[in-house]
Structure 1
Amino acid sequence: MFFKPKKLLSWLALLASFTNLFLSSWIILPAPNMFLLTLAVGAPEVSPWLFLLNLLCLLLSFFSIRRRKIRRLACTASLIGLLICGWVLVNIPFTQMQMDKAMKQELGANYLEKIPVQLSAKMQTHPFNLVNSFRGIALGKTRHQKDIIFANPAGVPLKMEVYQPPEVGKYPAAIVIYAGAWQRGNPSANAEFNQYIAHQGYTVFAIAYRHAPKYQFPSQLDDVRTALNFIRKHAAEYEADPERIVLLGRSAGAHLAMLAAYQPDAPPIRAVVSYYGPVNLTEGYKTPPSPDPINSRAVLRAFLGGSLEELPNQYRIASPINYLTHPLPPTLLIYGSRDHLVQARFGRQMYERLHDSGNTAIFLEIPWAEHAFDAVFNGVSNQLALYHTERFLAWALGIGNGA
């Protein structure tokens, strides 16, 4: 028995409507496991695509489904999907206003005037470009070197990748540290971001570190500090300015970036950027997120070698929030309100502590974003984050005598 073409089209329209609703629903639903977390991360970032697909399904269902009940069901599903995606899209201008306000509040209303011309010339002109959501963000040409060994602790070769602007010169150094719960990852991660930043006028060093549970804290911090020393020593070889270094990290990498920059004996660091980085491991262990798709306590035990009850001092030493006793580099903290791995409240707590201790800090929160929101490089959240990140870094490099 075969379906008639019109009947088949009706069922396909119904199926498409509910498929798009299922995908769109993860914009608002918390993910209970790692598989669904992928959907929860990606759905809001591709909301322009999902909005368009829901709209097409609505039109298709309305005009192709003859049975009233089925048509109503399919159209309702598409309308709900449209509303969910629309929530993200209509909130973009408001979120951008809040971000712009936070930047000016901390850096000054005229902070953009302090940005060196050579860095401001290539920056994105708009915080969100709908066209870029579909066609992608232009990366520009760069030079790229791989598999550069900078250390060999315990017989483990640690490598880095270097991205440079196309023209020979001398550039600020941006050291990028990848995510992966301190257990996985490599310097090839976030290649689009690294290429983009390099084209903006930076020498980008994407560095590796040893992974837990085989190598536990402070091995990872030691490796980042070793990388810092190597880069400063060999800066001229990579056309980098050792006096203009910034650190950027994501999640576990952001934790290591802050921890390395906040050490009392850290080399001069111009700025730190933390994308959803853990800051208070003690409180993170006590109050994990709910749901907790990554099993946060298990991750922390693997990283530190035991539970909070067994190693309270290790948890304290490994928490960047406990190093706010001396002047620190300006810090940009970007978190998603719906983050179920590193809750945004910790980023806000870090901002308040930095601010109260007299340090420059900015906290930016994206209402719809989950952990790892920037995995979709041309996604809604990453466009906003990238716009403010490049301005923050350029401002930090423009102040003082190093511009």
Structure 2
Amino acid sequence: MSVLILIFCFVSFFISLWIVIPAPIFSLLPLSVGAPEISHWLVLTNTIAALLALFRLKSLPIFIGMLLALSLSLLPAVQLPATVQKATAAIKASLGEIRVLPNFRSAPFVVFDAVRGIPQSEIRRTLNIAVATPDNVPLRMNVYRPMQSGKNPAIVMIYGGAWRTGSPNANEQFSQYMAAQGYTVLTIDYRHAPQYKFPTQIEDIKTGLKFIQQHADEYEVDLDRMAIMGRSAGGHLAMLTAYAIDAFPFRAVVNYYSPVDLIEGYNNPPFPDPIDSRGVLRAFLGGTPVELCDLYRKASPYQQVRSNLPPTLLIYGGHDHVVRSSFGRSLYEKLKQNGNTAIFIEIPWSDHAFDAVFNGSSNQLSLYYTERFLATMLK
């Protein structure tokens, strides 16, 4: 029994450490991403482990260690109230009073949902729609719609994956959730680096948008009420698409933890750097900023900022060591300087891809503000 208690204490302590320790290599990234998002469970396991260490093992060092782990697991909960206060103030400063609809989430974090999962309503799904085959590469699209028929405001979703992996099936829980809120969600595809380098990805997104316009009636899309959204590399492509001079007139842009200034990202990579940021950028663009300065600038949303851009919601993790939140803040400041509506929300305990844990604290908070932002812009 003592051995089992020791193993239980060690595992709970080990996972809790990743709330504050950034992943040094890619294979450990799920730990630093996931640990803060299950912190509510870690509070429970660390409390139990501390009691077992004190009363069953009678070990003061292990008890102190478990108190340390408990303190780490409480960090997101301690930081949550101030984070909510800042995010609410940021939304109100840009949009005024937040529009609230009956089916919105009731709070930025619901403990019951963290335990059971966020409820999903019945929707209609149309998967693997053939869009085009450039260079014999099939580009697909998924469509998620509410059960009721009729034209809906639409969200075009672009998946992430360092521009080299992924599919329209990514983040399906989010797509289903938003469809249940009354949107048509269209998740589109693009060709991947390193075989296909920038701007191939933008060309493919334009192909997808053209397909959506041609089939708007079939998929119940209101072309006058459309937003574009992406995560990480997908958010980067979404911003480039929406900020282009000849862009489709999107009503809103949502960017989760995306790179914005590729030259600065190459010259000042994060430490630690679990994805080899410089290698990812060379694969995407075909060289270094010294060799391809103009291309790096063309591929940087930060460099495309001007006035009269769509309102933009930026959500970044303060503990992100793939794309630092300071890049998102810099983009926010430049958007504001050019007279645009922009909202920046930083979640201090979150790492990159925090919303992979759909019922985690960070994604609950992000959903709470994203649905309010999109409803104000599109409904």
**CA–CA distance in structure 2, aligned partners of residues 87 and 204 of structure 1:** 34
TM superposition shift of 1:308: 1.1
Contact 2:306 2:335 in 1 (8 A): no
Contact 1:13 1:74 in 2 (8 A): no
- The amino acid that maps onto 2:333 is E
Unaligned runs of 5+ in 1: 1-8, 399-403
- The amino acid that maps onto 1:76 is I
TM superposition shift of 1:207: 0.9
Contact 1:18 1:77 in 2 (8 A): no
1:146 equivalent in structure 2:
127
Which residue, 200, 215, 222 being the options, matches 1:241? 222
List per-residue Cα deviations over 1:274-306 (Å, max 9, x = no partner): 000111001101100011010000000000011
Larger displacement relative to structure 2 (370-379 or 86-95): 86-95
- The amino acid that maps onto 1:358 is G
TM superposition shift of 1:74: 2.2
**CA–CA distance in structure 1, aligned partners of residues 82 and 367 of structure 2:** 17
Give the 5 Å matches for 1:305-316. Answer: 305-316=286-297
* Residue 3 of structure 2 corresponds to residue 11 of structure 1: yes
- The amino acid that maps onto 2:303 is N
Contact 1:174 1:202 in 2 (8 A): yes
**CA–CA distance in structure 1, aligned partners of residues 323 and 268 of structure 2:** 11
TM superposition shift of 1:154: 1.4
* Residue 43 of structure 2 corresponds to residue 51 of structure 1: yes
TM-score (norm 2): 0.98
Contact 2:145 2:185 in 1 (8 A): yes
2:266 equivalent in structure 1:
285
Which residue, 19, 40, 43 being the options, matches 2:32? 40
TM superposition shift of 1:14: 2.0
Which residue, 168, 175, 180 being the options, matches 2:156? 175
Which residue, 88, 91, 94 being the options, matches 2:82? 94
1:217 equivalent in structure 2:
198
- Number of positions where the alignment pairs a residue of Structure 1 with one of Structure 2: 379
TM superposition shift of 1:50: 0.9
1:302 equivalent in structure 2:
283
- The amino acid that maps onto 2:135 is A
**CA–CA distance in structure 1, aligned partners of residues 223 and 138 of structure 2:** 23
List per-residue Cα deviations over 1:74-111 (Å, max 9, x = no partner): 21221111100111112111111111011111112x24
2:54 equivalent in structure 1:
62
List per-residue Cα deviations over 1:35-55 (Å, max 9, x = no partner): 211100000000001111111
TM superposition shift of 1:63: 2.4
2:247 equivalent in structure 1:
266
- The amino acid that maps onto 1:92 is L
- The amino acid that maps onto 2:362 is S
Larger displacement relative to structure 2 (225-234 or 359-368): 225-234
2:16 equivalent in structure 1:
24
1:332 equivalent in structure 2:
313
1:395 equivalent in structure 2:
376
Which is greater in Rg?
A: 1
* Residue 124 of structure 2 corresponds to residue 132 of structure 1: no
Which residue, 347, 356, 368 being the options, matches 1:375? 356
Moved >3 Å (runs of 4+): none
**CA–CA distance in structure 2, aligned partners of residues 60 and 247 of structure 1:** 50
Contact 1:151 1:157 in 2 (8 A): yes
* Residue 235 of structure 2 corresponds to residue 254 of structure 1: yes
TM superposition shift of 1:130: 0.8
Unaligned runs of 5+ in 2: none
- The amino acid that maps onto 1:96 is V
Q: Identity of counterpart residues, as a percentage?
A: 52
TM superposition shift of 1:123: 1.0
List per-residue Cα deviations over 1:245-281 (Å, max 9, x = no partner): 1111000000000000001111110100000011100
**CA–CA distance in structure 2, aligned partners of residues 101 and 232 of structure 1:** 36
1:83 equivalent in structure 2:
71
TM superposition shift of 1:328: 0.5
* Residue 173 of structure 2 corresponds to residue 185 of structure 1: no
**CA–CA distance in structure 1, aligned partners of residues 102 and 207 of structure 2:** 33
Which residue, 318, 328, 335 being the options, matches 1:354? 335
TM superposition shift of 1:30: 1.4
1:227 equivalent in structure 2:
208
**CA–CA distance in structure 2, aligned partners of residues 228 and 30 of structure 1:** 37
1:3 equivalent in structure 2:
none
Tell me the SS of whatever aligns to 2:218.
helix
Contact 2:98 2:372 in 1 (8 A): no
**CA–CA distance in structure 2, aligned partners of residues 333 and 304 of structure 1:** 24
Contact 1:145 1:163 in 2 (8 A): yes
Which residue, 112, 135, 155 being the options, matches 2:136? 155
**CA–CA distance in structure 1, aligned partners of residues 201 and 110 of structure 2:** 37
- The amino acid that maps onto 1:200 is Q
Contact 2:307 2:339 in 1 (8 A): no
**CA–CA distance in structure 1, aligned partners of residues 63 and 124 of structure 2:** 50
1:345 equivalent in structure 2:
326
The root-mean-square deviation of aligned C-alpha atoms, in Å, is 1.0
1:4 equivalent in structure 2:
none
- The amino acid that maps onto 1:141 is E
TM superposition shift of 1:364: 0.2
Tell me the SS of whatever aligns to 2:308.
coil
TM-score (norm 1): 0.92
